[in-house]
Structure 1
Amino acid sequence: MHNPFTPIASLPVNPRTARVHEEGWQSWSPSGAYALGDKPYRPTNDNWATVCYRPGVTVPEDTFQGEGLLALDPGDGTPVRLWAAVEPTREVPSIRLVVTADRAEVSADGPVKEWTGTDIQSVLADWASGLGLQAPRPAPSVWCSWYEYFTAVTEEDIHENLRAMDTLDLPIDVVQIDDGYQKALGDWLTLSGRFRSRAGIADAIRARGRRAGIWTAPFLVDPASDLAAEHPDWLVRDVDGGFTHAGRNWGHDLRVLDTTHPAAAAYLTSVFTTLRAEGFDYFKVDFLYAGALDGVRHARVDALQAYRSGIELIREAIGPEAYLLGCGAPMLPSLGLFDAMRVSPDTAPHRRPEADDYSQPGQDPAEFTGVGRQWQHCRLWINDPDCLMARPAVETRERWAAHVEATGGLMASSDRLLSLDEWGVTTTRRLLSGVDQ
């Protein structure tokens, strides 16, 4: 149940030069600055509204809307204005702006505070700096299996790339196994047929002087998983977890783990304490939007409280020294929980996304939102602009590499390393060698 919108400001704007920054709900939600005549990016179907935007929130036509943050540069030489959530980890109001004639009418459905500044990125940065968060640790350099192998990754693929890192003398700290090692979403400790031993592969990575990393989507559960069959009471009721494309992901409806159920919470803890004990100390936790979906939980807590307590369980299980990267995560509710955060939709070997939905994979949407959220870097967390892909088959690889390098954030390679040509090896080595953070 959403609150009604209450007017909070009315001010003149120059329709030709004014800009509005919309902050999206989660990692994959389009975020950035628009001219007043632009049409902001919106979901192209109901499923993407759940998976990539703020679920249950529809924005009227000809309306700008930020989730917890909205900034306006009036374009007339007067200060930039920012409206921000008062308690961003507990309540994230939607903030709307509508232009009528030469005036901007701003409203919100919850409490906000106003800030002023000289430009959009700097006023957002000032707001972030005022939160008093601890400065994030620098990110390690990473190799990730996803953008070459997707869910078909095998144990031998990891070994091949481990050998190639040595042959090519690449400065990679962490080797991160992505989606595909597990039997099903939810059955994290049961291997797919493509892997023989998680502890064994972690040992092999560490034997070569590198750190072992692993991917999970800790709040998602496949309805066909053993967990769903054996413990249906561990799932959030009356919730649609969305679905993602077959081929790259799972292609069917998904359920959500109820971390407020004591037994489900104990299971989640056991998953991460097991992975940590096996030698993994870099954790990418993905599709985190699911943990903040409204539904009927075991405990009567609101969805944002359930989400934060779920992430806190994971952090307690992996310990303070392990590195924690969030992805697909509700942004403001995640403050103070992560070392690094994906700040854009997925990139892809192609520039443009399917349909015209900038929440979908593609270099253009990843660049648009990554640039729009550059202010977060080193203030809220280390920004993850998504992986470098430098192999010859990748469209406009030079432009994508330049974007990743310019962010100064988490640097991760995601190629089959033996497929790199001379430019690819040189570029990968340069970006992974360390950017001043």
Structure 2
Amino acid sequence: MMKKPLTLWLALLLMLSIMTANAGFAEAPAADASTEEASSAQDGITAEPIALQAASEASGTVYEAEAEGSVMTGNASVSDCPPCSGGLKVGGLYQGSSLEMTGIEVAAAGSYYAIIDYISGDPRSAEISVNGGAAKHVEFMKTADWDTLGTQSVMLELAAGMNAITFADGNGYSPDIDRITIVPAAQSYEGEAAGNELSGNASINDCAACSDGKKVGNLYQGAAVRMNGINVPEAGAYEITVYYISGDPRSFSVSVNDGPAQSILFAKTPDWDTVGTQNIQVMLQAGDNSLLFSDGGGYAPDLDKITVAPHAGQVVAGCERAEANAQLPAGKPTASKSFGKISVKQFEHIVQIEQGSYSVQYDTQKGLAAYSWNGQTVAKGVYSKFGDLASSCYSAHTFSMSDVKPLKDGFGSGIKVTFASHEAGKPTLNQIYSFYANKPYFLTRTEAPGDGALSANYFAPVVTNTEGGIDIGLGTLGNGDGRVLSVPYDNDMWVRYQAVPINAADTSYEVTAVYDNTSRNGLIVGSVTHDTWKTGIDFIGEANKLNSLSVYGGASSAKTHDSQPHGTVTGSKLTSPQVFVGYYNDYRTGMEAYGEANAVIAPPLAFGKKVPSGVPVGWNSWGAFGSSLSYQNIIDTSNYYKKQLKSMDNDNVTYINLDSYWDNLNDQQLADVVATIRKNGQKAGIYWGPFVYWGNNMEQPVDGSTYKYGDILLRDHDGNLLPTLDGAYAVDPTHPGAKERMNYFLGKFKRLGFEYIKLDFLTHGALEGDHYDPAVQTGTQAYNAGMKEMNKLIGSSMFISASIAPMFPSQYAHSRRIATDTFGSIGDTEYQLNALTYGWWQNGTIYHYTDPDHMALTRAATLEEARSRVNSAVISGTVFLGSDDVNDPKAQEYMKVLYTNKDVLELATKGKAFRAIEGNTGAQAADAFVSKDKDTYYLAVFNYSKEASNKSISLARAGVEMGKTYKVTELWSGATSKLTGDALTVSLGAAESRLYEFKVQSR
């Protein structure tokens, strides 16, 4: 086949107006700029190439349709074409004809643009396939006439080596084809390129392992690199592969075109001399873009380069998309049945389920569903996916009224409805919906029964890849403030929650909310079963809607801390995660309902008869002493709390908790400190990491076992140890030696008399790997096994606080840290309150209490900064533990002020997390929070700045019922005032905060 070189710059000009095809390819009308032997449909053809200054010497490759190796069937034939390259084209593509272009050679497998020069005097389409794979339906715009060339681009996945691309007419009519040009979709940009801008400490350094031998480093404490000239042919979602070096886990704060920044955690590389890669998704505009990589005020990786390619999620089959603005064709009614408040109506082509404010429609012709609330379609083009098999692409979709079954469980009474997708040679996919008479949400899962064993490590019960598939009514003008909640898998490495702008792309874990912060209307989607899968939620937004949303079991990424793919689940019947779907007037109410739904299936750990059920109050050693903890430190603290801080208790219970490095004490000293703590009327707490090994000696005997540590550590399927996480190896929870070790340590703690335990680094137990127990196929299954074993040993005798841990499964602890380590600075306070802003809903639902971590008051520069740290703990749910050296005069001063206010302590021990008033703060914390207790409101206001600030809080926005008279009390000072107007104005100094009580006054 003839091949002609074409500069990449010329190829990119041809692609400047790529549009997204209904079939999922990226396609474009004719380009505006004239290029070699090509033109726009409007301007006709340019006979001679125009000389342009190339931005790159890399070249695309041209393939002529009429070349010798091409294979034509049916009516397809070669004919003269004066405007075409070589003077020839292939036409006659109608009524069962095709053109196969062979010998399409690329060096590496991946995504490529095929730029098609064609002629079509009217709009036509083609079915395009690669190497005999599934055909994609692509629409072609009409050219000016049948003598004028146009160009259109599609994105294809090509194999390394030779490929064949087929254009078939689909028994219709297709354009005439002149030629195609193949150009790699991914483009590379160096971090140290001349056009980039460095700021702060950022500098260009030598790097033997990096491309071109250079990198951008020293990205810390306010440093950044702005990469300019990121040129893409069309607006949309793009996959950015970041080449970086980071000897420990660090985050980049990434913003596009000076827009809102997203904080992205990057996995550690093996060392500071090895380049790693990580993919992120961003929305880019057509033409030039800038990407800002900053440290977010902390420490970021070193940056080598990036590559930019269209996001693979945009490339889906036509059968996975609903037609834009198309109404589901109902046909004639065939059956109808009522089940109390729920009705099921069957038509020729659709089934409609109605319950109160919502309805679900299922198209039995296309296998696509739509979800509506109050007459507004919020989700459309919904299907399931099992591995690579999309339910909507099956040949048959069935429903039978006889399969509608009554349902009664912990959620209430309702019905179960099944839609089945069938195709010979493929497992049946049963989409099962649970509708409840008195719930504003429904649950859905997909099951795949098989004749034999099935295997998958990806199972998505809810997917839409339709343009505007998720539409919460913002409109294209975006009069509201569209957000998508990005929830972290766990709370390690100072990860943050993020309210991502809706016109962006990201992955959330377990749950997300798609909402308008202005109206607060929002769609909540999230998993409620956590026995097998880690659930990821990928989304891509554009024009104030989501064009892609995938809720799937099988997540494995830097944010789950996995080095291995998600485990493959095998069985005769596989089941996806069960997913909660609900639309609410206030997304915050919806998130709380989601938490409550999880608690129906797996309630938080019940309190044992001897375990106090109130908010834990007391002290933790880590912030005060860290690794230098001593026997005398604990004795002094217990005595001080008894004599000087009698108010630091809850219903006469005060905990004195030993954190890491409790093993600085021998067993006799441990017994003695427990005795002293008990003598002082307090309870003793301890710390342990059941799934971590901090050593390197694989021959070291396991405590309480005949195994060695090399035996019980988690490995990959090739037998290699998993990389360390947080500096520790992962222990396999299913190994008998790990169980013996657990029994040894937990038994020891019980015998010594400890009544509280902080379990840390639990995420290690959920890592993917090759587990000892062959019945355990995934990290989540292993985590469940290990935590169940732990609950058997201490679940009824200790207060269990999960520290660094996955959010789910949640039923094994009374509380869980809501964020990573938090001490006393205003930066710490803001970080912790970011987790409260978007994670408050865990409190009182999946966990009894959300833990804001210890309060290390002397880490604050001023008393007001320390007070803000205390206020953040008061409003967080809470576990209320100080963490200072009681012999430090500054600590004594601060504790006397901050741990003795009766009203503040009473508010803390209510154990109720406050709601953020606003949910549009990106990766930062809101600055105002509210809670209601009967007729009394509480309001917390923070200033995270180093400068004074005035805050004005709309009370109506805060949810304070207007039209009543309130006595307003600032709880720290006791100052009172009478509320006038509909706003609270507060003047705050640097790092200052206030706590207000609004109590209704009788007139």
Normalised-by-shorter TM-score class: 0.7 to 0.9
Bigger Rg, which one:
2
Task: Flag the 1:417–1:241 CA change in 2: closer, same or farther, 3 A.
Answer: farther
Output aligned runs, 1:75-86, within 5 Å: 77=519, 79-86=521-528
Q: Does residue 13 of structure 1 match 2:454?
A: no
2:459 and 2:910 map into 1 onto residues whose CA distance is: 45
2:709 and 2:811 map into 1 onto residues whose CA distance is: 31
CA contact under 8 A between 1:30 and 1:365: conserved in structure 2?
Answer: no
Output aligned runs, 1:168-183, within 5 Å: 168-170=644-646, 171-172=648-649, 173-182=654-663
Counterpart of 2:532 (choices 78, 90, 93) is 90
CA offset at residue 410 of structure 1?
1.3
- The one-letter amino acid of 1:349's match is G
CA offset at residue 316 of structure 1?
1.5
Task: Flag the 1:78–1:138 CA change in 2: closer, same or farther, 3 A.
Answer: closer
Task: Flag the 1:193–1:383 CA change in 2: closer, same or farther, 3 A.
Answer: closer
Task: Flag the 1:71–1:364 CA change in 2: closer, same or farther, 3 A.
Answer: same
Aligned pairs, number: 387
2:586 and 2:498 map into 1 onto residues whose CA distance is: 11
1:10 and 1:67 map into 2 onto residues whose CA distance is: 18
2:518 and 2:839 map into 1 onto residues whose CA distance is: 24
Task: Flag the 1:89–1:297 CA change in 2: closer, same or farther, 3 A.
Answer: closer
Q: Does residue 27 of structure 1 match 2:481?
A: no
Counterpart of 2:875 (choices 406, 416, 428) is 406
Query: Which residue in 1 is equivalent to 2:584?
Result: 117
Query: Which residue in 1 is equivalent to 2:643?
Result: 167
Unmatched 5+ residue regions in structure 1? 39-61, 183-191, 245-252, 353-361
1:241 and 1:180 map into 2 onto residues whose CA distance is: 24
- The one-letter amino acid of 2:529's match is E
CA contact under 8 A between 2:824 and 2:857: conserved in structure 1?
Answer: no
CA offset at residue 77 of structure 1?
4.6
Q: Does residue 72 of structure 1 match 2:72?
A: no
Q: Does residue 286 of structure 1 match 2:756?
A: no
Counterpart of 1:415 (choices 884, 887, 898) is 884
CA offset at residue 64 of structure 1?
2.7
Query: Which residue in 2 is equivalent to 1:330?
Result: 806
Query: Which residue in 2 is equivalent to 1:237?
Result: 715
1:338 and 1:160 map into 2 onto residues whose CA distance is: 29
Counterpart of 1:201 (choices 670, 673, 681) is 673
CA offset digits 1:127-160 (Å, max 9, x no partner): 1122322577323212100001111111111111
Output aligned runs, 1:362-373, within 5 Å: 362-373=828-839
Task: Flag the 1:328–1:241 CA change in 2: closer, same or farther, 3 A.
Answer: farther
* Matched residue SS, 1:10: coil
* Matched residue SS, 1:88: coil
- The one-letter amino acid of 1:177's match is L
CA offset digits 1:2-25 (Å, max 9, x no partner): 538742742153645112222210
CA contact under 8 A between 1:236 and 1:256: conserved in structure 2?
Answer: yes
2:900 and 2:645 map into 1 onto residues whose CA distance is: 8
CA contact under 8 A between 2:622 and 2:883: conserved in structure 1?
Answer: yes
Q: Does residue 257 of structure 1 match 2:731?
A: yes
1:391 and 1:76 map into 2 onto residues whose CA distance is: 39
CA offset at residue 91 of structure 1?
2.2
2:592 and 2:825 map into 1 onto residues whose CA distance is: 31
More strand by share: 2
1:408 and 1:64 map into 2 onto residues whose CA distance is: 28
Task: Flag the 1:422–1:403 CA change in 2: closer, same or farther, 3 A.
Answer: same
Output aligned runs, 1:126-137, within 5 Å: 126-131=593-598, 132=600, 133=603, 137=613
1:3 and 1:176 map into 2 onto residues whose CA distance is: 42
2:520 and 2:740 map into 1 onto residues whose CA distance is: 54
CA offset digits 1:354-380 (Å, max 9, x no partner): xxxxxxxx3322221123211111111
CA contact under 8 A between 1:390 and 1:427: conserved in structure 2?
Answer: no
CA contact under 8 A between 2:482 and 2:502: conserved in structure 1?
Answer: no
CA offset digits 1:196-241 (Å, max 9, x no partner): 5222221121121111100111110023464469342111123535
CA contact under 8 A between 1:85 and 1:92: conserved in structure 2?
Answer: no
Unmatched 5+ residue regions in structure 2? 1-455, 554-576, 608-612, 912-1003
What is the identity percentage for the equivalent residue pairs of Structure 1 and Structure 2?
19
CA contact under 8 A between 1:115 and 1:123: conserved in structure 2?
Answer: yes
Query: Which residue in 2 is equivalent to 1:185?
Result: none
Query: Which residue in 2 is equivalent to 1:3?
Result: 458
1:81 and 1:288 map into 2 onto residues whose CA distance is: 31
CA offset at residue 293 of structure 1?
0.6
Task: Flag the 1:27–1:289 CA change in 2: closer, same or farther, 3 A.
Answer: same
Task: Flag the 1:230–1:423 CA change in 2: closer, same or farther, 3 A.
Answer: closer
- The one-letter amino acid of 1:199's match is A
Question: Normalising by the residue count of structure 1, what TM-score does the alignment of the two structures yield?
Answer: 0.80
* Matched residue SS, 1:332: coil
What is the Cα-based RMSD across aligned positions, in Å? 2.7
Query: Which residue in 2 is equivalent to 1:425?
Result: 896
